[in-house]
Structure 1
């Protein structure tokens, strides 16, 4: 218990320290998120995700992200995924310098490895993305739409520490690497307090420090995780009652 208390205090101190650094704008933004992983067979599950991102805590909508994917569970600690994402961005507040509104269709491939060290649960996520972007370029005169294709790699190290049967801490750092032009894309440092609501659902209240090459953005996050097992539903459909 003493070790968990010390780790909790260290975690909170880290959040205070990084949030005190100079942001890219004066206001804290917020991301409201939903994540679902639903087993449909012994080896396969479906990932669903929706994120609503605001430039300020409850106003000035910035971005909508919808993502889905098919997971193949190699074993309990290894998962391969292929999926698709749609991202609509309102860049009115110059989140991305030189651009305004954009729409993106994204294909991704992902591999997750999990392991446990003492009480710490580690998750390594490797992701490749092919991004097909339509953007309104305001650097041109007159303004014009530009289509471009970009490729990106991402690596996320996530650590989860259970505190009790109900409460846990979650931390991750994720590095984005561009596979064209400038190598560094962004880095996301995240910490949260999580609460298990039921066996298959939880909520996380966290802080994200989103660092780009020339700006840092502070974001509060509320994430809802809902992971019901749907194998029984599909089994009933496959074997209807006589």
Structure 2
């Protein structure tokens, strides 16, 4: 019996040690994303997105994020949104059958304001977001996010884009994370574009490198009997 107890304790301690060391910081992860904006009236549109995130390039599941929102255009350069997200997360780099920790689910409600402006050819987008996070069996947390994107057109088809986003917790610890991103984009037409880029995701004491591929689609559901996407 003592040998079995000793063995179990050894395995438990080994698992903790491996989990602490294996965070995946030295791996290139990948995020595959699709964003849609669907116009339903002159002032209202519906946002829908899906993001599939991996700890390693193309494998080792990290997170599935599904999000939607109702947008209201205050003006051509200002918009408010009220949205909901459902997020499934594997919190560890190591497979769950090794460390015994399974995925957890989060329900998220958010409100945001988006402001846009231009300086010459540069286009700026500022997003201010508040989130209420209901994390399964863990906690309810509140968070504020500020997102700044700048886009520069190279020609009618190709463009460069970059953003920085800071996450501030409304409880301790105050700093959540920071995301710095750069990409090259291609306009398929006025309603579809594709972006490929690099994201540096910084947490306190940890930095992750992520390859991103994103598809952006706009549709106009006011049109009847016509193709929504040109």
Deviation by residue 1:99-133 (Cα, 9 ceiling, x = unmatched): 75221000000100000001100000000000000
Correspondence 1:189 to 2:190: no
Whether 2:202 is the aligned partner of 1:227: answer no
C-alpha distance in 1 between matches for 2:92 and 2:111: 30
Give the Å deviation of 1:200: 0.2
TM-score after normalising by structure 2: 0.83
Pair 1:218 & 2:220 matched? no
Paired residues of 1:24 and 1:216 also in contact (CA < 8 A): no
CA shift, 1:24, in A, is: 5.7
1:27 Cα deviation (Å)?
Answer: 1.1
Instruction: State the partner residue of 1:171.
Output: 162
What's the RMSD between the two structures over aligned residues?
1.7
- Deviations for 1:78-101, whole angstroms, at most 9, x for unmatched residues? 00000000000012317xxxx752
Q: C-alpha separation between the residues in 2 aligned to 1:219 and 1:61? A: 13
Alignment partner, residue 149 of structure 1: 140
The answer as to 2:44 corresponding to 1:44 is yes
* Alignment-derived partner of residue 25 in structure 2: 25
**TM, length-normalised to structure 1:** 0.79
Aligned partners of 2:114 and 2:145: how far apart in 1?
Answer: 12
Q: How far apart, in 1, do the equivalents of 2:120 and 2:102 lie?
A: 47
Unaligned runs of 5+ in 1: 1-22, 135-145, 235-242
Work out which of the two has the higher radius of gyration on C-alpha atoms and give 1 or 2. Answer: 2
Equivalent pair of 1:24/1:215 in contact (CA under 8 Å): no
Q: What SS is found at the alignment partner of 1:55?
A: strand
**Ranges of 4+ aligned residues in structure 1 off by more than 2 Å:** none
Q: Secondary structure at the match of 1:92?
A: coil
Q: 2:20: which partner in 1?
A: none
**What is the aligned partner in structure 2 of residue 103 from structure 1?**
105
Equivalent residue, structure 1, for 2:75:
75
How many angstroms does 1:230 deviate by? Answer: 1.4
Once the two structures are TM-superposed, the CA of residue 229 in structure 1 deviates from its matched residue by: 1.4
1:19-56 Cα shifts (integer Å, max 9, x gaps): xxxx9622100000000111100000000000000111
Q: Post-superposition shift, 1:233?
A: 3.5
Is residue 132 of structure 2 the alignment partner of residue 130 of structure 1? yes
Q: What is the CA–CA distance in structure 1 between the aligned matches of 2:162 and 2:135, rounded to whole Å?
A: 30
1:194, 1:104 → 2: CA distance?
A: 31
CA distance in 2, matches of 1:231, 1:159: 30
